[in-house]
Amino acid sequence: MLAPLPFRLLQVGACRHPECVAMRGGQWGAVTFPALCGLIQHPTLGNWLFDTGYSDHFQAATQPFPERLYRWVTPVSLPSEQQLTAQLAQLGLRPGDIDGIILSHFHADHIAGLRDYPKAEIIAMQAEYAQLSQLSRIQGLFHAYLPQLLPASFSTHARFIEGMRLLTLPPELQPFRYGFDLLGDGSLLAVPLPGHTHHHLGLLLRRQDGQIVFLVADACWSIKALQQHRPPSWLAQRLFDDKRAYLATFGQLQQLAEQNPAVLVVPSHCEVTARAWLNESI
């Protein structure tokens, strides 16, 4: 289980928002929330992404009203050098070289780049996609979902997690008990982290140096919040699909971090984590 794989954490744009919304007791001023995604290179199954961060498609999708409200509430920056396609090119990879994309959930800042990888298989939770597909335009916006970001071929390229094999996790990863075997060899395990959305997922993998990495997406927004047990404010929690489930998941992540600090918990929007990884200090 969790055979070592080459892995890179990439920052693909960022937004700004008051810290006090994302973490109780945080400052009132706006802080930077990077959009992080992962590149995993499997020896036989090719190049895989965990989420995509932002892209120019996000700017296009939020140009009309009412979608423009999204970019007003969370102003986005995406320097050319942070474009995911540009970063992959620096690694010698073209869009057609991406074999698959694993989605933590369908919020726009996690799926905005999907259309840049037309050949990639997409792995996601069918239940979440089905739920979002029933929303009106306004309801979708309230849930940070912009359906125009999905490629037209989504239904034919998507492979849904629900039917995949479940594996029991080792004791070192308790209180989390099981994960979906995404590639069939135990190397990438999707772990349910409900609350932020009903069917929100994290991803477990092992780096080549043997380090276990837990990509937790939006199950917590910063390592500081996790270490100090400072979950998001009541205002942010009103936007979650299930506030109680979120707090339970947040508590489980805190327990894991306390019991086994050797596991690297990686939130998708933590600036401290982004700096440490991008400076190669962890």
Summarize pLDDT for 130-139 with one digit per residue, the tens.
999 888 888 8
pTM of the complete model: 0.96
What secondary structure does DSSP assign to 181-212, as a single string? ESSSSSSSEEEE--SSSTT-EEEEEEETTS-E
- Backbone φ and ψ for 41, nearest 5 degrees, come out as -115, 110
Provide the pLDDT for residue 199: 96
User: What DSSP state is assigned to residue 262?
Assistant: T
CATH code for residues 4-278:
3.60.15.10
Provide the pLDDT for residue 214: 98
Provide the pLDDT for residue 230: 87
User: Two tokens at 9?
Assistant: 């954490």
End-to-end CA distance of the chain: 22
pLDDT tens column, 167-212: 999 999 999 999 999 999 999 999 999 999 999 999 999 999 999 9
Higher-pLDDT residue of 237 and 183 is: 183
Provide the pLDDT for residue 64: 93
Mean pLDDT of the chain: 92
What would the mean pLDDT of 84-96 be, rounded to a whole number?
A: 97
What would the mean pLDDT of 99-106 be, rounded to a whole number?
A: 98
The helix or strand, by DSSP H or E, that contains position 22, with its residue range, turns out to be: helix 19-22
Residue 141 has pLDDT above 90, yes or no: no
**CA–CA separation, 131 and 263 (whole Å):** 32
Provide the pLDDT for residue 22: 74
**CA–CA separation, 80 and 186 (whole Å):** 36
Res. 281 pLDDT band, cuts 50 70 90: low
**CA–CA separation, 34 and 46 (whole Å):** 26
Least trusted range by pLDDT, from 21-35, 57-71, 146-160, 215-229: 21-35
In Å, what is the CA distance from 281 to each residue of 88, 181, 261, 276?
21, 30, 16, 5
